[in-house]
Amino acid sequence: MDKIRSVFRVKEKDPAIIEEQVSTEDFESDKKHGIELIVSKSQEFDPVTSNLVEEIIKDDYAKITVEDDSPYPEVRAAVPSTDDFSMHQNTIRAWVLGLILTTVGCGMNMLFSFHSPSFVVTTFVTSILAWPIGRFWAWIVPDVKIFGVSLNPGPFNIKEHTIITIMANVSFGGGAAYATDILVAQNKFYHSDFGWGFDLLAIWSTQCIGFALGGLARRIVVYPSGAIWPSNLVTATFLTNMHINENHPANGWKISRLMFFCVIFICSFVWYWFPGFLFQALSYFSWITWIKPKNVIINQIFGSSSGLGMVPNNIALDWNQIAGYIGSPLIPPAGAIATIFLSVIVIFWVIVPAIHYSNVWYAQYLPISSSGSYDRFQQTYNVSRIINPKTLTFDLEAYKEYSPLFLSTTFAIAYGLSFASILATLSHTALFHGHEILEQLKLKEKPDVHMRLMRKYREVPDWWFGIVFLVFFGMSVATIRAWPTEMPIWCLIIALIIAIIFLLPVAIIFARTNIAVGLNVITEFIIGYMLPGKPLAMMFFKTFGYITNNQAVTFAQDMKLGHYMKIAPRVLFWAQLIATIWGSLVQIAVLRWSYGSIKELCSPTNTSHYTCPNGKVFFNASIIWGVIGPQRQFSSGQIYYGLLFFFIIGLITPFINWLILKKWPNSPVRHLHWPVFFSGTGYIPPATPYNYTSFCAVGTGPGGFYTAHHLLHKSPPNVKLDIDFFEKLPTPFGLSRYGVAPDHPEVKNCEEYMTNIMRDFSNGNNNNHSVRFLGNVEIGRDISLVDLEKYYNSIVLAYGCTSADNKLNVPGSDLPGVIPARQFVHWYNGHPDYYKSTQKFIPPRLDKVKQVSIIGNGNVALDVARILLADPAEHWNKTDISSEAQALLEKSTVKHVRIAARRGVLESAFSNKEIRELFELKNTSFVPLEESLLTSIDRSNLGRVDKRKLSIIEKYNKKSEGSSHRTWSLEYLRSPVKFTRSETDPSLLQSTTFVKNELVHDPLTQLTKCKATSTTVDEPNELVIVSIGYQGKALSGFDELGIWFENNKLQNKSGRVLSIESRDNEDINSVFKKGWYVAGWIKNGPKGVIATTMMDSFDTAEKILEDLANGSILPIQQSGDVVDVIPADIVTWEDWCKLDEFELQRGQELGKSRFKVCNKEDMLSHCK
């Protein structure tokens, strides 16, 4: 059937797309909504290196393995698209190991936080340790039960490992709890101590309120497929390698991921001794400064530890320099890394030197890059000189007598960038993700495979998180009011409001870029104006505003890891909450133990370097912001007043991007992420541009490896889109309605896309764009292609290759007992072409058939087999299968279905999902394969999908117990050579003669070919259904247009239709037919899967956008509406809705999902 779709109608009207229903061998895996999701979503994550799409498709890790797989190849490569629902996870082993490792990690990180320099035990240490410990537990601990729960339920598995990892991450993943810095600053620097009770309430309230907020936001920042959380991909890869360790060769490499990890680990360990101990100059590889080590300018410009690290002195040879401040550059997408690199160039290599050497802010009297604060004597600022030592309050006269506060150039600029990042985060999120947030709140985003699999588990009710919030909010009130913190409750509420307002923007940006936007400076800034001179209140306000937000993001990140690894939500809830509470208790215990056990703790004279650097920084910040206050640094007339204009810069820059992309959607500016630009370099100082440029140099390649092709899906604001959908039938949805098996309603979700489009854009519902559905219009009969061209600027032909079936060309193939699968599928799905009042299709006589042979073993073949084998009353009664088909199936006498293919098991065309579904079909039995077919397969280089396919077949390749009503078999290495008519009934067959094939390896081409032997076998069957592919054809009018159809496709180049003038020309001399495009199977022939269709479709879409931008479009030759010249009885969307309502209502009366009206005349009567 023909469907014409007008897309991108400029000025009056723009392109039309002509599209025929595409019938494929795999109706489900080739559905278009899946294609659209894959490309557009992957573009949002990392829109660079789009030329890797073909490599990704062939990659055994990143390629699509299930119909609703993640739209991101990065996720597909790292996270399994399956789940073993029976795998134990809530085990004593997981809880014991999780709590033990949490205790050890929290204690060590708390102790290490006192040390200078401080260092952190990361979660990966826990993950590495948990693996051998868990395996040892499984080996040594007896399988006894405690209160009915087994101590050793079996092998240590990936879900237990994930729970342990998450417990560690939420309790000590980022080091000691932020609240402990408040306590150290208060106890050791302000010499004020409120005791154990205050400490516990403070740490629990600041840690756990974030948990509640993260849980409440999970539907927006965890469940959507677009919430990538890149660092989780690293963790997921690490965990799966430990437990699954599949090995797929890549570019000739055959080493497994686990072995690769071990090799890199060993090499890194060996190399670290060189920059770390043996030759430390490699760590700060400032070779230019070695030339003139006493030259101040050279050291400031090229220095790596206190300079700007400019090119070419910006390459580090020490991984600690590369990843020590910012994390691994292998995690963020390439676009984020490019944005950070641009920020370094513009801000720190252009603006900072200009300010510094112009002596703005007296900058030349200070280091160019330092995290310290200075007085007017160029010495470290002595805060003790400006506070009253008895009351710890600000002494204004002493301040005036001593000195204002001065900052290095990079430090001052860092404050400005922090100001800009705050408003940039809000405006960027509103402009670029506002619609996405609203859609997710409305639960409109199509779930991916991970969300589908997680629906098997019981969800955590929102009120659980609400209760957690109320409990720990009460603790926070008690913390600030039961002790003299000088912080009123209204300040606490404001701090939490700030955390909540920024939660979605910060989480969304972090989930896509792995770059965090911190609220530490803005919270200090706000409280400094609200409560000047109250340093303890300042520290708590900062913690409740910044850390609550930060903790919520951390908890959400771990929820996503649990989502990826299929951890039951309720188990994850308790694991996170209990680990947080217990870890906080451990940290306070170690804190208090340290006070009594470490002599001169936090003193500069401590011989073991336990000088409390973090607590001192917190103390100094409390003096600067809480005592001196921002009004003496940033208010009008003060030295750093100009930095406040960064707020305005941060607010408007995303708007500039947004406007540019509305005008030029393909502009490179789409890769510039302003919140990342302003906040990505937030560690400068103490980090230097040297650390960041080394980060970019390493990350630019690997960071963008798993990327995908992109499609512009937002039109420029000055283009009015008027879209017409022309449909040959009175009904929309084409393939979804007439191709998808009736028992696969989940695959028909694509119908929602068009329904939503019509709802949002038809009948003037949208001010900019409009969409119409024009059904019951056949191209060539109601309007010619030449006439159609007069009404549109561009036309895309996408009518598929389903006009005819591939022929077997063997004796008897034209007998009545041999029918194409395409006809059978359309018949049971109620296609009107097979229910005409005249020349009605005659269905096979299933009431006379006992054995059926299906030639081909693609998904369509398996759909047909399932139709024939399933119990009609039980399996099909509630579906939308046509009433005539169901009635005939109820009379069916079919006893056995044979699915024959000419090649071997590995070449099976069906998907794993389809074959598993057929194996598990009730009241049927599978006739086992010969064992030699499976044992002869070389498994050494098999990909993941093939391994799964073999494992499924082997699992079910056994004789069924008991008797079944019907049986079926898979026949390999067989080709039909003759069909014999029945001697008693001419409408049926007697048998099919198959020749046995063998697989032969061709040493010249290195391919395995199928070769017929001399052995034949006759199989009895009354019916043969052929499912071996389709053919396309030219439309009437191609010759008149000057375009041509050849080799089963419309001749084109990258989606642009070629003019007949190009027929004998070289490729470089191609002449295009202006305004005409092609997509889908008719573009490249009836071949390929969803991924290849993805490339073809969106490659064409990009060509359309390019030509629209360049003005290379057809002129509108005919004024008026095309509807006025179409003589057909057009069916509008409103008309279809009437038929839709009737079918649904009648189906409800019959206990079916839908009662399909199959006859076209009846359809039209219900539409009017």
The model's pLDDT over 415-455, given as tens digits with 9 standing for 90+, comes to 788 788 878 877 877 777 666 666 655 555 567 778 888 88
Range in 91-95, 456-460, 1113-1117, 1155-1159 the model is least confident about: 1113-1117
Average pLDDT value for residue range 908-921: 86
pLDDT digit string, tens, across residues 805-850: 778 889 998 898 999 888 888 889 888 888 876 666 778 889 899 9
> What pTM value is reported for the model?
0.58
At 989, is the secondary structure helix, strand, or coil? strand
Better-scored residue on pLDDT, 588 or 294: 588
Among 217-221, 367-371, 582-586, name the most confident range: 582-586
Would you say residue 1165 has pLDDT above 90? Answer: no
pLDDT score for 417: 81
The residues facing 16 across adjacent strands are: 6, 795
Cα separation, 1044 vs 1034, in Å, equals 8
Question: Residue 6 carries which side chain, given as an amino acid letter?
Answer: S
Cα separation, 82 vs 566, in Å, equals 9
pLDDT score for 952: 86
Cα separation, 46 vs 799, in Å, equals 32
Mean pLDDT taken over the chain:
76
pLDDT score for 615: 75
pLDDT score for 1095: 63
Range in 241-250, 516-525, 1088-1097 the model is least confident about: 1088-1097
What separation, in Å, do the N-terminal and C-terminal C-alpha atoms of the chain show? 22
pLDDT score for 852: 94
Average pLDDT value for residue range 180-202: 83
pLDDT score for 414: 78
Domains in the chain: ranges and CATH: 3-24+712-803+1038-1131 (3.40.50), 807-1028 (3.50.50.60)
Among 149-163, 380-394, 415-429, name the most confident range: 149-163
Better-scored residue on pLDDT, 893 or 728: 893
Is there a contact between 354 and 684 (Cβ–Cβ < 8 Å)?
no
**Residue reference for tokens 């200078």:** 116
Average pLDDT value for residue range 292-303: 68
Q: Assign 66 a pLDDT band (cuts: 50, 70, 90).
A: low
Strand residue runs (E) in 739-823? 770-775, 795-797, 804-805, 818-820
Would you say residue 574 has pLDDT above 90? Answer: yes
- On the 0-12 / 13-18 / 19+ scale of CB atoms within 10 A, 841 is middle
Better-scored residue on pLDDT, 77 or 686: 77
Average pLDDT value for residue range 1114-1126: 79
pLDDT score for 17: 41
- On the 0-12 / 13-18 / 19+ scale of CB atoms within 10 A, 1028 is buried
Gyration radius of the chain over CA positions: 34
pLDDT score for 855: 93
pLDDT score for 245: 58
Question: Residue 358 carries which side chain, given as an amino acid letter?
Answer: S
Better-scored residue on pLDDT, 53 or 508: 508
The torsion defined by the Cα of 634, 640, 643 and 647, in degrees rounded to 10, comes to 0
Would you say residue 1099 has pLDDT above 60? Answer: yes
The secondary element (H helix, E strand) that includes residue 980 is strand 974-981
pLDDT digit string, tens, across residues 939-957: 777 777 778 888 888 888 8
Q: Assign 979 a pLDDT band (cuts: 50, 70, 90).
A: very high
Quick one: tokens of 830?
Answer: 């109620």
Q: State whether the Cα torsion 612-613-614-618 is positive or negative.
A: positive
Better-scored residue on pLDDT, 686 or 117: 117
pLDDT digit string, tens, across residues 1034-1085: 888 888 888 888 887 888 888 888 988 888 766 666 788 888 888 777 787 7
Cα separation, 949 vs 449, in Å, equals 18
Q: Assign 765 a pLDDT band (cuts: 50, 70, 90).
A: low
Q: What percent of the chain has pLDDT over 70?
A: 76
pLDDT score for 56: 46
pLDDT digit string, tens, across residues 14-24: 434 444 333 33
Range in 275-279, 517-521, 1108-1112 the model is least confident about: 275-279
Question: Residue 952 carries which side chain, given as an amino acid letter?
Answer: I
Is there a contact between 396 and 385 (Cβ–Cβ < 8 Å)?
no
Would you say residue 8 has pLDDT above 60? Answer: no
pLDDT score for 63: 57
Would you say residue 714 has pLDDT above 90? Answer: no
The secondary element (H helix, E strand) that includes residue 493 is helix 489-501
Q: Which residues contact 246 (CB under 8 A, 6 or more apart)?
A: 256, 257, 944, 947
Quick one: tokens of 991?
Answer: 């048998």
Q: Assign 296 a pLDDT band (cuts: 50, 70, 90).
A: low
Average pLDDT value for residue range 726-733: 81
Average pLDDT value for residue range 1138-1165: 88
Cis peptide preceding 447, ω within 30 of 0: no
Cα separation, 373 vs 377, in Å, equals 12
Is there a contact between 580 and 254 (Cβ–Cβ < 8 Å)?
no
Nearest by Cα to 665 from 704, 723, 719, 721: 719
Average pLDDT value for residue range 339-368: 78
Is there a contact between 12 and 794 (Cβ–Cβ < 8 Å)?
no
At 171, is the secondary structure helix, strand, or coil? helix
Is there a contact between 186 and 483 (Cβ–Cβ < 8 Å)?
no
pLDDT digit string, tens, across residues 849-875: 999 999 998 888 999 999 999 888 888
pLDDT score for 7: 33
pLDDT score for 10: 33
Cα separation, 508 vs 1089, in Å, equals 32
pLDDT score for 851: 93
Average pLDDT value for residue range 964-990: 90
pLDDT digit string, tens, across residues 315-335: 666 666 555 555 566 666 666
Looking from the CA of 42 toward its CB, the CA atoms found within 13 Å total: 33
Q: Assign 189 a pLDDT band (cuts: 50, 70, 90).
A: confident
The secondary element (H helix, E strand) that includes residue 197 is helix 196-216
pLDDT score for 300: 63
Average pLDDT value for residue range 608-634: 74
pLDDT score for 579: 92
DSSP string, 316-344: -S-HHHHHTTT--TTSS-HHHHHHHHHHI
Would you say residue 782 has pLDDT above 80? Answer: yes
The secondary element (H helix, E strand) that includes residue 1014 is strand 1007-1020
Cα separation, 1062 vs 1044, in Å, equals 10
Residue 21, phi then psi, degrees to nearest 5: -55, 130
